[in-house]
Amino acid sequence: MLRPTLAFLAGAALLAGCPAANDDDSAGTSEMAITLDFAAKVGTADVVCGGSYEDMGAMGTTVQIKDFRAYISRIRLRNSDGDMVPLELDQDTPWQHEDLALIDFEDGTGACAETGTAETNMTITGTVPEGTYDEVEFDLGVPFGHNHGDSATAPSPLNLVSMQWNWQGGYKFVRIDMANEGAPPMNNWFFHLGSTGCESDASSTPPQVECAKPNRPTYSFQNFDHANDTLVLDLAGVLDDVDVSTNTLDTPPGCMSFPADVDDCVDLFPNLGLDWDSGECSGNCGAQSFIRVE
Partner 1 sequence: MRAASQGGGLLIAGVLLLGGCSAPGAWTWDLPDGFPEPRVPEDNPMSEEKVELGRHLFFDTQLSGNEEQACGSCHFQELGFSDGMRTSEGSTGEFGVRNASQLVNIAYLSTLTWANPALATIEDFVPNPLFGEFPVELGVDDGNKDEVLERFATDPVYDGMFEEAFPEHDEVLGWDTVRDSIASFVRTMISGNSRYDQYTYQGDTDALTVAEKRGLDLFLSEKTECHHCHGGFNFTLSTVTATTEFIEMSFHNTGLYDLGDGAYPTGNGGLYEVTGRPEDMGKFRAPTLRNVEVSGPYMHDGSMDTLEEVVEFYARGGQLIEDGPNAGDGKLNPFKSGFMNGFSMTTQERDDLVAFLKTLTDDEFLADPAFADPFEE
Binding site for partner 1 (CB under 8 A): 6, 9-10, 13-14, 17-19, 21, 66, 94, 104, 108, 110-111, 113-115, 117-119, 150-153, 155-157, 159-162, 164-166, 168-169, 177, 179, 183-188, 190, 201-205, 247, 250-253, 256, 258, 260-261
CA–CA separation, 245 and 56 (whole Å): 9
Instruction: Name the minimum Å distance from CB 200 to partner 1.
Output: 11
Q: Which is nearer to partner 1, 220 or 248 (CB)?
A: 248
Bridge partners (DSSP) listed for residue 176 = 68, 191
Instruction: Name the minimum Å distance from CB 6 to partner 1.
Output: 5
CA–CA separation, 293 and 126 (whole Å): 19
Instruction: Name the minimum Å distance from CB 22 to partner 1.
Output: 12
Ramachandran angles phi, psi of 272, nearest 5°: -95, 0
Q: How does strand 45-46 pair with strand 88-89?
A: unpaired
Q: Is 289 exposed, middle or buried (0-12, 13-18, 19+ CB in 10 A)?
A: middle
Which residues touch 86 (CB under 8 Å, ≥6 apart)?
74, 75, 76, 99, 128
Q: Which is nearer to partner 1, 40 or 160 (CB)?
A: 160
Instruction: Name the minimum Å distance from CB 245 to partner 1.
Output: 15
Instruction: Name the minimum Å distance from CB 98 to partner 1.
Output: 15
Which helix (H) or strand (E) element contains residue 97? strand 96-97
Instruction: Name the minimum Å distance from CB 240 to partner 1.
Output: 22
Q: Which is nearer to partner 1, 115 or 123 (CB)?
A: 115
Residue among 230, 164, 192 nearest 66 (CA): 192
Q: Which is nearer to partner 1, 171 or 224 (CB)?
A: 171
Q: Which is nearer to partner 1, 215 or 288 (CB)?
A: 215
Instruction: Name the minimum Å distance from CB 150 to partner 1.
Output: 6
Q: Which is nearer to partner 1, 66 or 216 (CB)?
A: 66
Ramachandran angles phi, psi of 223, nearest 5°: 50, 45
CA–CA separation, 66 and 132 (whole Å): 39
Encoded amino acid at 76, one letter: R
Dump the DSSP string for 59-85.
TTEEEEEEEEEEEEEEEEEEETTS-EE
Q: Which is nearer to partner 1, 127 or 187 (CB)?
A: 187
